[in-house]
Amino acid sequence: MRTKKLTTLALCTALALILSYVESLLPGLAAIPGVKMGLANIAVVFVLYKLGWKEAALVSLVRVFLVSLLFGSAASLFYSLAGAALSLAAMGLLKKSGVFSAVAVSVAGGVAHNAGQIGMACLLLETDALRYYLPFLTLSGTLAGVGIGLIAAALVRRIDMK
């Protein structure tokens, strides 16, 4: 791996970790428990567009493991992994199509992340009652995805990787 690429990945992973920590300190943004902005995804979307899907997956997964280890629990690791995996798959497919903007890709990632977490919660808690929570999380994932996508798109435009 080239030094510049490795350095970029390390910086983006560190940024994602810091943004996750900062977000954990903020009070909830909505009356719905668990709703968060997903600030760390700024780094993931940036890497997706600048370096590629594999690199974005690496940043996302390293961040998930570090956040769970430092600030979370074993349960949070399962929820985060499910959300991150589904989010990466959705974002990778939409970006690869070449049809969607970074904002649309980010929205798909936010919604897919929430769906992955609800799916894991239903599986671990052995109930499907949580699926009724999905429309609220779809709305929050859409709103957060727009914000994250706008910031990531601006960074992609303004930061030259050459």
CATH number for the domain harbouring residue 35: 1.10.1760.20
* Alpha-carbon span 95 to 60, nearest angstrom: 16
Domain total of the chain:
1
Q: List alpha helices for the chain, DSSP H.
A: 3-25, 41-50, 53-71, 74-97, 102-125, 134-158
* Alpha-carbon span 53 to 74, nearest angstrom: 26
| pLDDT band (50, 70, 90) for residue 36 | confident
Look at the pTM and tell me if it is higher than 0.75. Answer: yes
**pLDDT score for 33:** 67
Give the domain range for residue 76: 3-158
Task: List the single range of 34-38, 43-47, 111-115, 127-131 with lowest mean pLDDT.
Answer: 34-38
Q: What is the mean pLDDT of the chain?
A: 92
- 126 by Cβ neighbours in 10 Å (0-12 / 13-18 / 19+) ranks as exposed
| pLDDT band (50, 70, 90) for residue 42 | very high
Rounded average pLDDT over 71-100: 94
Residue with tokens 């940024």: 15
